Amino acid sequence: MLKRIIAIAFIFAGAAIAWVVLGGTIFSRTYDSNNELGSRVVSLWGAPQAQSPPSATVDHTEPKTTETVENGKTKKVTEQLVVTDVLPVEASRVDVNLELDYRQKGLLWYSTYRVAFLGDYAFRNTTKQDEASFTLKFPTEQAIYDDLVFTVDGEPVRLTNAKGTATGTARVKPGETATLRVGYRSQGLTEWRYNFGSDVSQVKDFRLKMRTNFKAIDFPENTLSPSEKRETPGGWELVWNYKNLVSGFQIAMLMPEKLQPGPLAGRISFFAPVSLFFFFFLMFIITTMRGIELHPMNYFFLAAAFFSFHLLLAYLVDHVSIHWSFAISSVVSVFLVISYLRLVVGTRFAAREAGLAQFIYLVMFSYAFFFKGFTGLAVTTGSILTLFVVMQITGRVRWADKFAGRVEVNGEKTTNGNFAGKPAPSVST
């Protein structure tokens, strides 16, 4: 019996090493190619976007006199310097629509989105000049911008583009307020942000309304929470409303991530030895109690059938959705175990005890990884229930007799299957 246990433990250790190698291979395939695939997604779709408010400036000249000394004589030189005044933003009304649209590359899903941006900004001319330059800095250079809107008081402005910005000029009388409207449609990745400028900024009469087509909204750390929140049939309507805000924080939305096939398959593979341990443990208890002999080679093939689940899952997720890959791999592995034990022990034992045990410890334990945050609790609960059941059904077992190979029949004990000189009775399976 001891040699048998050692052989089973050796098989278990070999299978565990194989799963560690497989899990490492999956993570290597996932993350080694992530940089290349991520750059492809950025080039095809767009980068994370961080929109800042447009600016308005007015240039004017001021004389500046400097004194120089030449040959002992003092000369005064007057130059005309260009001074740039920044016009204050009196009010901001911003509307943002975010539409999540996932893209898969390799073993990863990327949270790509479409954004429709429209903003009205009121600038007051506090200078004596009547010509202002309005500049919109685009959120990123790695994106396209369609349906561009750039008007001042409803009139289109001729634009010049340079280094990811669009600039136009318009006449604004001193003391008056001009409304700049900017808008576009674009595409981004992972997150969308609106910043108020560098460092700590003061913002007056600000309102940003954001609509999403997804429910799982999430705000990154060190960002502002919405003032109002209303659930819509397909997502949320969020409002940030401030009368006079002084803050260095930003407004941001983090796109929800889809269940990642590569990391999920890798975690399931690393966890596989736990599933196999419970399965081997239960099979050993049941066969020992019933006098069913399973050779270590039988355990080897059972371990191989378990391994086939994770191997098939690892390479199916490249081509099929994670749920279909999981279902197909589960059916294949369970079929291998039941069809094999049917020949070794019998159909009833293979389908009932072995099939049910594999479904619980391989399929259900692995499926717990689909529920983020509940995996550990599910596995712990299953482990405790298993321990309880095994303790109850084996509480009256005399393990010394079982491990010595002694069986009691009609009040007589015998070893190695000899019953008072009579053949050992057959054991029903």
pLDDT digits (tens, 9 = 90+) for 161-181: 877 899 999 999 998 999 999
pLDDT at 38 over 70: no
Coil/strand/helix, residue 331: helix
Domain contains 128: yes
Question: Which two three-digit tokens encode residue 195?
Answer: 């910043």
Q: Mean of the pLDDT values across residues 201-226?
A: 90
Within this chain, do residues 237 and 347 fall inside the same structural domain, yes or no? no
Task: Read off the pLDDT band of 127 (50, 70, 90).
Answer: confident
Within this chain, do residues 316 and 352 fall inside the same structural domain, yes or no? yes
The length of the chain in residues reads: 429
Within this chain, do residues 80 and 22 fall inside the same structural domain, yes or no? no
The pLDDT, as a whole number, for residue 129 is 86
Within this chain, do residues 99 and 153 fall inside the same structural domain, yes or no? yes
Within this chain, do residues 169 and 276 fall inside the same structural domain, yes or no? no
Highest mean pLDDT among 65-79, 305-319, 373-387 belongs to: 305-319
Domain contains 425: no
Q: Which residue has the higher pLDDT, 62 or 353?
A: 353
Please give the C-alpha separations between residue 81 and each of 62, 65, 133, 168, in angstroms, as whole numbers: 5, 10, 18, 22
pLDDT at 105 over 70: yes
pLDDT at 359 over 70: yes
Within this chain, do residues 184 and 279 fall inside the same structural domain, yes or no? no
The pLDDT, as a whole number, for residue 164 is 84
Within this chain, do residues 292 and 161 fall inside the same structural domain, yes or no? no
- Domain end among 233, 254, 275: 254
Share of the chain above pLDDT 70, in %: 88
The pLDDT, as a whole number, for residue 426 is 43
Within this chain, do residues 292 and 275 fall inside the same structural domain, yes or no? yes
Domain contains 424: no
Within this chain, do residues 90 and 210 fall inside the same structural domain, yes or no? yes
Q: Which residue has the higher pLDDT, 154 or 69?
A: 154
Task: Read off the pLDDT band of 424 (50, 70, 90).
Answer: very low
Beta strand 112-124 pairing with 89-100? antiparallel
Within this chain, do residues 15 and 87 fall inside the same structural domain, yes or no? no
pLDDT at 388 over 80: yes
- Residue closest to 346 by CA, chosen among 286, 390, 403: 286
Half-sphere exposure of 130 (CA within 13 A, CB side): 2
**Residue 175: DSSP 8-state:** T
Task: Read off the pLDDT band of 418 (50, 70, 90).
Answer: very low
pLDDT at 32 over 90: no
At 258, give phi and psi (nearest 5°).
-85, 160
Within this chain, do residues 313 and 379 fall inside the same structural domain, yes or no? yes
Task: Read off the pLDDT band of 289 (50, 70, 90).
Answer: confident
Mean pLDDT value across the chain = 85
Q: Mean of the pLDDT values across residues 335-339?
A: 94
The pLDDT, as a whole number, for residue 199 is 61
Domain contains 175: yes
Within this chain, do residues 103 and 249 fall inside the same structural domain, yes or no? yes
Domain contains 405: no
At 423, give phi and psi (nearest 5°).
-60, 150
The pLDDT, as a whole number, for residue 183 is 94
Task: Read off the pLDDT band of 326 (50, 70, 90).
Answer: very high
* Domain region containing 141: 48-254
Give me the DSSP letters along 209-224: EEEES-S-----TTBP
- Domain end among 237, 254, 271: 254
Domain contains 26: yes
